[in-house]
Chain A
């Protein structure tokens, strides 16, 4: 365990640096644009809301929250303090709910949908890709064009196609929502059943998209490894094929794990859009309502939350990678 210390400290430091940078970007981007952000917000409040006391409350809240009369460095610390407290202010479009409240009710839908789907898709995709590289022939010839085509469909395209086939035409699954519209979220068996029922289509649409891309990557990695010198050498040595295959796939797997860490941001982005197609009550739909309602605080907070989610997932994958890749352990021993 001691050998890993440097690697992990390194990764943790990097995680913190990216996190701080994400905060800074989130803070600076809106302020880089021409015009005063608070003025813009107040202008949007006037369009988006018709509750006079609400406008007043928000106006006061934001003068304090942004502290626009203070220097920019101080504003930044005010922002950090507010974020640390989980205080993102009121949502414009869903006043009097706070942003934290809106996000709290949608974030778990997204987490529970996307990460299992991406992991399942990744596992299936890699298995299929490895099989295609090893078996070649017919399996490869069928799987590859399908994978290439599927991975080129945008996530929302796959979502729409599944929706139309299985929900609209066959009527096997519901067309929208995260649970039956006649239910109130609770822990009853009825509710859980409804959630699982609504979960299927969004889940499989993300899985299918992920499978396509991963299978292609794993196939070329495996082909590359299968041609490597150590494989030929092992064959000359008379080592059994089964054993060689195990080495090959373990080696081909490593870049795929790094690939997953790097691509998880893009995948989450695509899946957020897929959520909208199913009106799934997650962050994707939250962004849509926020955009349509000109709800700046909600968008900013959602963007931050998504970044934190992706960064954390990334961090976890890299920690896992540290355990899986023997080279890292070896490097630490030096």
Chain B
């Protein structure tokens, strides 16, 4: 046994897969301990807030300010306000007013503004320019001047008696707050989803649930497959025929069809994560049964099995002591694959709208489904779906790598 483990852990494929899987497992175990937020709590009012650090504006106004003199602050401020369209428009105007195009660099904000300030003249008439365009430039110029002003923003307070606004504070452009001193800061490394839920926290919980679904489905499928395979391979005869008939039947009838029919028949109310896992398990045992059967058939007439029979051991004893140990490695490999295909099956079902109908827990498939329904992929909200795909791919990838590694250890023909 010890030797086998040593061999397994010498296989690079297995080790890489194992490390990735363990990293995922550790994350889903440790993350909720560090950040105990409810995974499905709706914190954002609105859909798809981009990833970032969210600092309370109200609290930052009220916290201590520090004055920092940073040279590029103004340029940065303006750069963030000026979008590409405005820059192109400015370039167009400058070119039209006679500045050579190669002297203008729309990426260089400071230089562009400088050129703009020295050259722009709202009264200047440029041939071919419509009135609407001229007005646009005048507006643009005004907003630029607003950006360029060095005055601070005024905080006013309503006087409770008179109802008038009274100046309370002035925030200068060089005022800064320390994020650590602001009372309310929320880090959303993956933004929020369409409901306004923290994607990262939700993703961790969803991964946990999906792994559980995969585990339950894999266990059920492996157990059914193992038992049917053992019975059919060892007992043979009519039992074998009957089991093989059913197995062959379910091999060709696509499991997605069974999944769709069963999930739909269960009805929305009863479709919990666990139910879905059980359904997936009951529809995916076929491969294990086939493979176990063929292995058992090749073992059935080995000498040690015959010896056991002659010694008068019971069928149960023979199966447990003389056959199972020989197919254990295969069963473990099949189990790993079943888990990963269970996770994939849940995701596929959920996208079809037949996933677990639950408001208490997220699953990877449900996250994907909502992202697709809200068209996150077309709106460019990558944080709503991409982490989910990567997580699914990493889980299945790691499990397949482990499987390949085990295969190389136990199947000499595949060794390099």
Question: Contact residues of A with B, CB < 8 Å?
Answer: 14, 17-18, 21-22, 25-26, 29-30, 32-33, 35, 40, 148-149, 151-157, 160-161, 163-164, 168, 175-176, 220, 223-224, 227, 262, 265-266, 268-270, 272-273, 276-277, 284, 287-288, 291-292, 296, 299-300, 302-303, 306-307, 310-311, 314
Contact = CB atoms under 8 A, between A and B. Distances in A.
A284 B265 CA distance: 18
Contacts of A314: 252
Judged by DSSP, the binding face of A is helix
A148 B389 contact: no
A156 B260 contact: no
9 contacts: A21-B253, A154-B348, A154-B396, A155-B348, A161-B389, A262-B251, A270-B348, A284-B352, A300-B261
B266 interface: yes
Contacts of B265: 29-30, 32-33
A135 to B, nearest CB: 14
B255 interface: yes
A83 to B, nearest CB: 15
B404 A148 contact: yes
Contacts of B256: 265-266, 268-269, 272, 306
Interface stretch (B143-151, B323-331, B372-380): B372-380
Contacts of B382: 164
A284 B257 CA distance: 11
A266 B392 contact: no
B136 interface: no
B253 A22 contact: yes
Interface residues of B, number: 43
Interface string B380-397: 101001100100110011
Given A227-B413, A276-B352, A292-B353, A154 B253 contact: no
Nearest to B393: A153
Contacts of B249: 17-18, 21
Contact of A310 (B252, B344, B389): B252
In order of increasing CB-CB distance, the 3 nearest A-B pairs are: A269-B256, A265-B254, A291-B353
A310 B372 contact: no
Given A29-B261, A270-B348, A303-B257, A152 B396 contact: yes
B258 interface: yes
B100 interface: no
Given A25-B258, A168-B380, A273-B348, A291 B385 contact: no
B254 A269 contact: yes
B258 A276 contact: no
Contacts of A265: 252-257
A270 B347 CA distance: 10
B389 A157 contact: yes
A29 B255 contact: no
A306 B253 CA distance: 9
